[in-house]
Structure formats: C-alpha cells, structure tokens
Amino acid sequence: MNPSESQIQQYADAHTSPEPALLGQLVRETHLQTLMPRMLSGHFQGRLLSMLSHMIRPRRVLELGTFTGYSALCMAEGLADDGELHTVEQNPELRSRVERYVQQAGLQGRVHLHIGDAEQIIPTLGETWDLVFIDADKIRNQVYYELVLPQVRPGGFVLIDNVLWSGKALPDYPLKPADKDAHAVRAFNDFVQQDARVENVFLPLRDGLLLVRKRG
C-alpha cells in the first residue's frame, strides 16, 4: 500500500494535539469572513509553530505576514515569561480582528501589531530576534531575510513558509515567465542553501517550511 499525501496528512492531523478553543473560533471566523482563508496556518502547522516556540522559549519573536493572527497566537504560546512578539501586516482591514483575538488571548502588551510595509517597519523595531517567521510577499523573501538576519541573535532561528509553492519550487517543474512567485521562491531556496551564515533544514510539511539557524 502506498498512502497518498492527503491520507498521510489526515493521519498526522489525527495524531497532533488539538488547537485551543480560541484558535478554533478564529479558524471558523477566518473561513466565513475572509476571501483567502487558505492563507491561515491552520491546526497542524500552528501546533508545529507552538512546539518550536516552546522549545526555543524566545524573548523576542518577529512575524512578517499576520493575516488574521493565528500563527502569531500559536508562537506566543511558547514565549519566555518576559517575551514579546511583533507581527507585521500590510492590510489595515485586518487590524480590528487581530487586536480582538490578541485581547481575548490575554496577550495585550506582549503581542504588538504593526500595520504597513515590512521593509519600512523592520529597521525601526530595534530588537534582537530569537525567532523570525517569514510568511509574507514571496517575491520579497530574500529582501526580508537579508533585513532580519543581522538582527537575529547567533543561534537564533528564521522560519520561512510556502517554500514548496505547490511543488513549483522543484527544479523539474516547468515554470512560465509569468510565474514570478515560483521563480522567486526557487531562487530564494537556492540562495539559503548556499548561505554560509546559516544552517538549514527543508521541511516538506504542507506547502513547505524552511528552518534556518544563524551560526554563532
């Protein structure tokens, strides 16, 4: 028997701890009230983000691409006692929902939402990051990476989402010139693989996660 990817994912979901009730509520609301709910990290990836955060116990986390706040709340679960999370979202229409869920989670003052262009906001934050999650404009992955890496502490981590890009990142996939996001993701993956400043592991989970550790 050769199980399909969907069967394997169903088994993985069934053997992963459930999400907190508040996050389940956010999932339902996101699917009912947003145009692109698939941008949500979701149960499986969310529990992975929470687990990684608990393992690292970060004092400072940066997220690029908040959407409705699901992944930010997951990573906030593992913050150190004095930890804070900064999350950047370009769409101002999402502000009220994110802030409402941050408040319901009791994380006011610890989770900080910034609305605007990440390229402009990152240099103003003045923090040293233990963990960075990049889940924003794929064409600018390398721009974000180069902006945040100098701010990541030695031994700190950067996690980049959607690095499979529905399989289009694979070298044998026939890309068209118009597939700008796919070209950018493929080039970024190759760049990180050659970056002597870091160690990296490609995780073929969901749409691909690239886990990067900054060398000491």
Phi-psi region of 93 (alpha: psi -120 to 50; beta: other; left: phi over 0): alpha
Could you tell me the pLDDT band of residue 35, with boundaries at 50, 70 and 90? confident
- pLDDT tens digits for 36-60? 988 889 999 999 999 999 999 999 9
pLDDT of 1 > 80? The answer is no
The amino acid that residue 131 corresponds to is: L
Which helix (H) or strand (E) segment is 38 a member of? Answer: none
CA angle 85, 39, 145 (to 5 degrees): 50
Predicted confidence at residue 5, as pLDDT, reads 86
Phi-psi region of 43 (alpha: psi -120 to 50; beta: other; left: phi over 0): alpha
Which helix (H) or strand (E) segment is 147 a member of? Answer: helix 141-148
C-alpha radius of gyration, the chain, whole number: 17
Report residue 182 as tokens: 């796919």
Predicted confidence at residue 205, as pLDDT, reads 92
Model pTM?
0.96
- pLDDT tens digits for 106-143? 999 999 999 999 999 999 999 999 999 999 999 999 99
- Sketch out the chain's domains with CATH numbers: 49-214 (3.40.50.150)
Nearest alpha-carbon partner for 133 in 71, 201, 56, 194 = 71
Q: Count the residues in the chain.
A: 216
Nearest alpha-carbon partner for 153 in 201, 215, 72 = 215
Predicted confidence at residue 22, as pLDDT, reads 98
Predicted confidence at residue 37, as pLDDT, reads 87
- pLDDT tens digits for 151-202? 999 999 999 999 999 999 999 999 999 999 999 999 999 999 999 999 999 9
- pLDDT tens digits for 63-81? 999 999 999 999 999 999 9
Phi-psi region of 167 (alpha: psi -120 to 50; beta: other; left: phi over 0): left
Mean of the pLDDT values across residues 82-93?
Answer: 98
| Sheet with 84-89: strands ordered across | 111-115, 84-89, 60-64, 129-134, 152-161, 209-214, 198-203
Query: What separation in angstroms does the CA of 212 have from each of 27, 85, 185, 195, 215?
Result: 28, 19, 15, 10, 9
Q: Which residues contact 156 (CB under 8 A, 6 or more apart)?
A: 128, 129, 130, 131, 132, 213, 214
